[in-house]
Amino acid sequence: MVAGCGCSATHVSHSADHRPIGVFDSGVGGLTVLAALEQALPATSFIYLGDTARLPYGTKSPASVERYALQCAAALVNRGVQALVVACNTASAASLPALRQAYPDLPVIGVIHPGAQAAVAHTRNRKIAVLATEGTVRAGAYQRAIERMDARVQVTSIGCSVFVALAEEGWGEGAVAELVAKRYIGALFDSPDAPDTLLLGCTHFPLLRKTLTALVPNGVAIVDSAETTARAVASLFADRSWDVQGRGGSTFLATDGPERFARVGSLFLGRLIEVSAVERVDV
């Protein structure tokens, strides 16, 4: 176990390793994680797989999500990745033990542990609000992760599923986003004993960060699980002294709808994805 990232790996190499890092999600939300990874490790190559044929994972049973995650991981492992990043909250909650059992020699990093760890580190009054999808809230994964780190922390979880649709429409800012955000969290900070830390527990939600920042009181920390996951991956490779310097660049795979993947995914990645750059695959 590597302290600080909630991942495990038995393979240690001190020589140059130019293999890509595999990243997967149920769709395009995990591209916010990829964007942060590209920034944290600019010379590293990545392969991103969006399981768009079976999204959303949040409505599926944990057993189905685990099966899907294992299939996505197998597709990436077959392409020679040196690590797996599970850029999906639902899959992180449901499948990490099975993935680590299936691939004991690969680091497997999810988004929940790094986000929870950063939120615990930021909070001063031990009150954290987690914004997530209804499925993630029901699973209680962030609450359990936070309580394992500090049982004294009070966690308020709020299901904000409409944020997903806003992000995918490119409406993360503006009047509509502001009204929806006020509906979800407007009353959260009315109390003087309100949370001082807001954890974005969905990979779609960084697209609403500016709207949320304008809405919360000064001094409230907003923790982005995409950024924290990227830092955890970069820290893991630094701790293991692995040389991941390569040519850089990302390869995109989707199990359905390359056109939509490219169009909507460009919003999440923060740069244009050409349709011709998206390979349709079966897993």
Residues with a catalytic annotation lie at: 88, 202
Q: Is 173 exposed, middle or buried (0-12, 13-18, 19+ CB in 10 A)?
A: middle
Contact 262, 277 (CB under 8 A): yes
Which residue has tokens 């500016």? 210
Of residues 98, 74, 3, the one with CA closest to residue 283: 74
Per-residue DSSP letters for 44-110? -EEEEEE-TTS--GGGS-HHHHHHHHHHHHHHHHTTT-S-EEE--HHHHHHHHHHHHHH-TTS-EEE
Q: Provide the pairing of β-strand 154-159 with 108-110.
A: unpaired
Going by C-alpha positions, the residue among 89, 112, 103, 98 that lies closest to residue 27 is: 89
- Rounded CA separation 97/268 (Å): 28
Nearest-CA neighbor of 87 among 53, 54, 121, 47?
Answer: 47
> Reading across the β-sheet that carries 249-254, which strands appear in turn?
108-110, 84-86, 21-25, 45-50, 249-254, 278-280
Residue 176, Cβ neighbours under 10 Å: how many? 14
Distance, CA of 193 to CA of 275 (rounded, Å):
49
Q: Which of 225, 227, 236 is nearest to 8 (CA)?
A: 236
